[in-house]
Amino acid sequence: MYSPEILLTAVLNGLMTGAVYALIAVGLTLVYGVLHIINFAHGATLTAAMFAVYVLHAAFGLDPYLAMAVTVPGFFALGYAVQRLVIGPASHGDDGNILLVTLGLAIIIENALLVVFRSDTRSIDVPYGFAVIEVGPLFLSLPRVIAVFVVLLVALLLWLFLARSTTGQAIRAVAKEKMGAALVGIDVGHIYAVTFGLGAACLAVAASLLMPTFLVNPRIGNAFVLVAFTIVVLGGMGSIPGALLGGLFIGVVESLSGLFMGESLGQIGIFLIFILVLLFRPTGLFGAKA
């Protein structure tokens, strides 16, 4: 019923949206894979990062992409500190408590942003916000094409970091066997905090990629949380390549099911796939053996 041109555009749209989902999911899966916690504050942290990009643009005219130079280290430090000083001590390593603490953090972040910025939905206007790349009959949004490449780059860097660097190896060791890692002298608390910081840094990048075409209000991050969880599971919890592929896959599924079933019911497509994957292949679609 749709022309090939429309279908192709829908797939490309899905890939471009999915890339950003993937980056948000990479942060989540990293934290999950190492700390084995489900971070309820992930969405609120993304919102905070988006406001950071907004403020840097509104107050200093800083371009959202250049803002990464400030927000990425900033959010890494913030994530590190929050894990070290709040989540770690308050949760006493108990799953239920971690849920509560991250939920508490989400409530604090969301409402602190409400206090400071009020409830308005804001966006930033950059000269290239409406720029397109014309490919035949298609108009591809320039900021969203940029997003795809940045996400691939970040995923590659992260993967290299985990595979090659000493800290990366320590992170993988802790992920695999916490006790063993501690026995060989790895500072588990430090590694946890580094991982959490990396997760937050991923969100800072995602925020910069979103802001040129998206908008921000104190609750906007929630829109991405459920879909990010879905991707984490699809990709296999803890797997970065899995999250990347899962993100792109979910983006396309969402796009096509939205096209054929309508945007509202189309959301069911995501959750049904999610349920089916969990029921029949809980290690995820893309490899990672549990």
Residues 218 to 277 in contact with another protein, rule: CB under 8 A = 218-220, 222-224, 226-227, 229-230, 233, 237, 254-255, 258-259, 262-265, 267-268, 271-272, 274-275
Contact present, 16 and 145 (Cβ < 8 Å)? yes
Our finding on whether 71 is near another protein (CB under 8 A) is no
Tokens of 142: 């320039």
Which of residues 44 and 162 has its CB atom nearest to another protein in the complex? 44
CA 103 to chain centre: 17
Residues 75-94 that bind another protein (CB under 8 A): 86, 89-92, 94
Contact present, 146 and 209 (Cβ < 8 Å)? yes
Residues 165-204 that bind another protein (CB under 8 A): none
Of the residues 100, 152, 182, 188, which one makes contact with another protein according to CB under 8 A: 100
Cα–Cα distances in angstroms (integers) from residue 22 to residues 29, 36, 129, 206, 233, in the given order: 10, 19, 22, 9, 12
Of the residues 85, 108, 153, 163, which one makes contact with another protein according to CB under 8 A: 108
In this chain, which stretch among 68-76, 128-136, 182-190, 198-206 interacts with another protein, using CB under 8 A? 128-136
Our finding on whether 47 is near another protein (CB under 8 A) is no
Contact present, 71 and 54 (Cβ < 8 Å)? no
* Length in residues, the chain: 290
Our finding on whether 10 is near another protein (CB under 8 A) is yes
The 8-class DSSP code of residue 216 comes to B
